[in-house]
Amino acid sequence: MAVKANDRTWLPAAAAVPDGRLREAHDRVVAGRAADGDPHAFEVLVRRYSTLMRVYARSILGTNDEADDVVQEAFVTAWQQLDSLEDPGVVKSWLMRIVSRRSIDRLRARREHEDIIDYDPPAEAASSPAQMVQARSLADAVGTALASLPAGQRRCWLLKEVAEYSYREIAADLDVPESTVRGLISRARVNMAREMQAWR
Amino acid sequence: MTDPQSPYDSGTTDALDPANLDGHTIEELSAYLDAERTPTNFSIESSPGCQIALTALGRLRELTAHTLEAQAATEPAPPDSWVRGIMDRIALEARAGRDIPITHTARTAHLTMTEGAVRGMIRAAGDSISEVIVGRCQIDGDVTAIGEPVTITVDVSVAWGESIPLAADRAREAIHGQLAKHTELNIAAIHVMVQDVRFSRTAPGTGVAQP
């Protein structure tokens, strides 16, 4: 006779910590608890980071359509792998890397229609100076500059500077030479800096 | 509407004007930055104009991250149905862990409880202290052999304004009490690690734990 008390037996509804308290806790505690298998803690992470992840995925993909699906897939992967995360305090950047990978998978799937590192036009101001002058805040101005980058430059830039990928990792994931990645990131930086100059 | 800390505020946006770069170009500076400023280029390092431009270029990284956060802050929170879509897809029993034996009077009975269940019990016990929230919880030692000493290490968050040693003691007692009651684990020690002191949004600065 084998009797196994399963998790549910010991986790009646009353065992769930009031959501309000959990929402106030730092990533390290929330993610650590989620890694131990507490779905309530995981839901707090979903609510805490899904919007940022969606904004990021949209910027990598260049469209809004698939961003929600990509973020959803990223969270499912995160749940499966969370117990392998050694320091739960870095869960945010870890999630950004997962959503990066998921986004790249989508780009690969569409590759028959579009090159991930698409045609990269020579540096020129893509947004109109008027658009940049109208930017009401620094964040708006950076957002405009980012949006004006050619897709290949923007993708490499975000992977490097937000998801903290190395040049080698970007090259491997996008299946292009490392020198191409370096060139794209350098051009992205120069283009953004030029665009920013128009903002006062 | 300018950020006073920004290298892009009025007056310093010419940081990237080639006329101020002592003969260097923005492309050159960007490549120099990528090479982590090695080998040292003395011409660049000794040019005030280049230094300002390098700072401006270097800041683009944090500005990008800051911008995504700012954009996210203006977007609506995900609808509950979307969040439920994720929660429905994750397997709730995925973290069973090791099997912990429980003695039984009948010799033919083989009784176990999962490590995941014990963790759930530890969380519930710690959470019963109103100022405490339990985070990660680690059970070290051979739990699969009855009587082997085990050490429990739990991360906790404590509400601001509460006595941390007192909260840790209360959590430890609550956890010990529950484990002694429901398991046969031979507990050598329970370590409570306070990882975070949290502020309540509902009672800012008062540290009053919510009932």
- In this structure, are A165 and A87 located in the same domain? no
pLDDT at position A5 is 46
Chain B contact probe: residue of A9, A10, A81, A137 with most B CBs at under 10 A: A10
- In this structure, are A109 and A125 located in the same domain? no
Radius of gyration of chain A from its Cα atoms, rounded to whole angstroms: 20
Number of domains in chain A: 2
Highest averaged pLDDT of the listed ranges A110-114, B26-30, B130-134:
B130-134
Q: Given an 8 Å threshold on Cβ–Cβ distance, is B155 in contact with A1?
A: no
Nearest to A138 among B63, B109, B210 (CB): B63
pLDDT band at B92 (very low <50, low <70, confident <90, very high): low
pLDDT-wise least confident of A29-38, A59-68, A76-85, B27-36: B27-36
pLDDT at position B51 is 92
Give chain B's domains with CATH numbers.
Answer: 18-74 (no CATH), 99-198 (3.30.70.1350)
Residue A11 CB partners (closer than 8 Å, separation 6+): B117, B120, B124
- In this structure, are A92 and A145 located in the same domain? no
Identify the domain containing residue A105 by its residue range: 25-113
Please name the amino acid found at residue A9.
Answer: T
User: What CATH number is given to the structural domain containing A48?
Assistant: 1.10.1740.10
Nearest to B117 among A9, A42, A50 (CB): A9
Nearest to A11 among B61, B120, B210 (CB): B120
User: What pTM was computed for the model?
Assistant: 0.82
Identify whether the C-beta of residue A70 lies closer than 8 Å to the C-beta of residue A52: no
- In this structure, are A106 and A29 located in the same domain? yes
Please name the amino acid found at residue B43.
Answer: S
CA distance A157 to A167: 10
pLDDT at position B10 is 42
Residue B102: strand, helix, or coil: strand
User: What CATH number is given to the structural domain containing A147?
Assistant: 1.10.10.10
Nearest to A55 among B30, B60, B71 (CB): B71
- In this structure, are A42 and A81 located in the same domain? yes
Query: At residue B205, does pLDDT exceed 60?
Result: no
Which residue, of A60, A79, A113, is where some domain finishes? A113
Does the structure's ipTM exceed the value 0.90? no
B99: nearest CA partner in chain A: A4
Which residue, of A56, A86, A113, is where some domain finishes? A113
Q: Given an 8 Å threshold on Cβ–Cβ distance, is A196 in contact with B69?
A: no
Residues of A in contact with B210 (CB under 8 A): 18, 20-21
Q: What's the mean pLDDT in B158-179?
A: 93
- In this structure, are A107 and A129 located in the same domain? no
In B, residues 146-205, which contact A (CB 8 Å cutoff)?
Answer: 155-157, 182, 195-196, 198-202
pLDDT at position A200 is 57
CB burial readout A42-80, b (16+ within 10 A) else e: bbbbbebbbbbbbbbbbbbbbeeebbbebbbbbbbebbe
Q: Tally A–B CB contacts below 8 A.
A: 237
- In this structure, are A104 and A132 located in the same domain? no
pLDDT-wise least confident of A84-88, A196-200, B11-15: B11-15
Which residue, of A60, A94, A113, is where some domain finishes? A113
